[in-house]
Amino acid sequence: MKILLLGSSGMLGSDCKEVLSKDYEVIAPSRKELDIISWDVVIENLQRLAPDIILNCVGFTDVDACETEAFAVRKINVEGPRNLAQGAARFNCRLIHLSSDYVFSGKKSVPQPYFEDDPVDPISAYGRSKVESEVAVKENAPNYIIVRSAWLCGINGNNFIDSILANALKKKQKSLRVVDDQIGSPTWTYRLALQIKELLEKDIKGTFHATSEGYCSRLEFARYVFKKLKIKTPIEPCSMSDYPQPAQRPANCILENRLMKKNGLNIMPDWKKDIDEYLDQFGKELIKRARAGKS
Ligand SMILES: NC(=O)c1ccc[n+]([C@@H]2O[C@H](COP(=O)([O-])OP(=O)(O)OC[C@H]3O[C@@H](n4cnc5c(N)ncnc54)[C@H](OP(=O)(O)O)[C@@H]3O)[C@@H](O)[C@H]2O)c1
């Protein structure tokens, strides 16, 4: 099986490359080699490479920047996926596309999770672009899988763990404030890559939620990470309204992996198990990077 992997320099894409290359032929062009916003480039590459599967891990993922950079967001998060979906239809290949918990408003009361068939209701420009990407994929690619995930952490990208470590390890930093009213499921990109492999090996189609099991607040997540890494900086609770950001975030980000479970495909473990494994493998490196100001 030949897989065309796009976004392989990113946090999720790099782990997908590592996982899938063990069993499949993976072609992973850089953005310079294959820019998904160009229809001509997409078509030329699909014709020449003839993949069985396109795995799209590309994204404009800076949620706050999405509020002001409408043109780039539209190109990368909507028109790019549409090009891939139309190309997949033309060359008869499958398209696997990544989407997000931000397609929902997050207004459901915790711990009620979001299901795959809940109505979407985004509250940010990023969320709206992911909804539009889903529509573009569904309307154009006859054979597609949409994977919605959330709260990703991985060694090849800047994420929540990097940012709390960078803040805590700043010189003279006495304490940290972290929101306690945003709830979700921390998900390791390496595990998500294994889950994507599980999905692409089956003859299935549709939209699937794929996050780790269990949930926590951002505050609980930060405290868990600090305890594990023996970081002594105290963490104080605050609320999202104390910490205004350009983009509104959903408060409830819990996704239920209902369709994967129904099909016997769910391999996602409890979030603590995976965060333990991630920090056992990479904790020292993460601290070193944060101290060097590289995260
Ligand atoms: N991060 C999260 O917490 C999260 C949560 C839920 C869903 N997701 C979704 O998961 C997917 C992957 O997210 P991520 O956090 O791994 O992304 P990321 O680390 O920001 O990586 C984005 C990738 O997209 C590439 N790219 C950007 N524009 C491109 C273009 N025009 N043509 C080709 N490649 C382009 C980048 O290449 P360069 O490095 O060369 O720019 C990079 O490899 C996205 O669809 C995202 O919406 C992410």
The answer to whether the CB of 9 is under 6 A from ligand 1 is yes
Residue 175 within a domain:
no
Phi and psi dihedrals of 188, rounded to 5?
Answer: -80, 130
Question: 27 pLDDT band (50/70/90 cuts)?
Answer: very high
Position 197 in a domain: yes
How far, in Å, is the centroid of ligand 1 from the Cα of 174?
34
Quick: pLDDT tens for 183-228: 999 999 999 999 999 999 999 999 999 999 999 999 999 999 999 9
Q: Is residue 240 part of a domain?
A: no
CB neighbourhood size of 277 (10 A): 14
Which of 30, 34, 58 has most ligand 1 atoms within 8 Å of CB, for mutation?
A: 58
* Strand 206-209 with 144-149, pairing: parallel
- Structure confidence by residue, pLDDT tens digits, 266-288: 999 999 999 999 999 999 999 99
Domain membership of residue 50 as a residue range: 2-159+185-215+254-269
Say yes or no to pLDDT of 295 above 90. Answer: no
In this predicted structure, what is the pLDDT of residue 293? 83
| Confidence at residue 108, expressed as pLDDT on a 0 to 100 scale | 98
Three-point CA angle 126, 268, 76, nearest 5°: 25
Q: Is 113 in the pocket of ligand 1 (CB under 6 A)?
A: no
CATH of the domain at 203: 3.40.50.720
Which tens digit of pLDDT belongs to each residue from 29-65? 999 999 999 999 999 999 999 999 999 999 999 999 9
Q: Per the structure, how many domains does the chain have?
A: 1
Among 158-172, 248-262, 266-280, the range scoring the smallest mean pLDDT is: 158-172
CB 7 less than 6 A from any atom of ligand 1? yes
Q: Is residue 95 part of a domain?
A: yes
- Is residue 98 assigned to a domain? yes
Residue 238 lies in a domain: no
User: How does residue 3 score in pLDDT terms, banded at 50, 70 and 90?
Assistant: very high
Residue 239 lies in a domain: no
Residue 113: half-sphere exposure toward Cβ, Cα within 13 Å: 21
Atom of ligand 1 nearest to the CA of 36: 32
Q: pLDDT per residue over 103-147, tens digit each?
A: 999 999 999 999 999 999 999 999 999 999 999 999 999 999 999
* 227 falls within a domain: no
| Global pTM value | 0.98
Backbone dihedral angles phi then psi of residue 84, each to the nearest 5 degrees: -65, -40
Give the distance (Å) from ligand 1 centre to CA of residue 78. Answer: 13
The per-residue pLDDT for 196 is 98
d(CA 13, CA 280): 22
Asked which of 66-70, 240-244, 291-295 is least confident by mean pLDDT, the reply is 291-295
**164, pLDDT greater than 80:** yes
Rounded distance, CA 247 to CA 244, Å? 8
In this structure, the residue with its CA closest to atom 7 of ligand 1 is 100
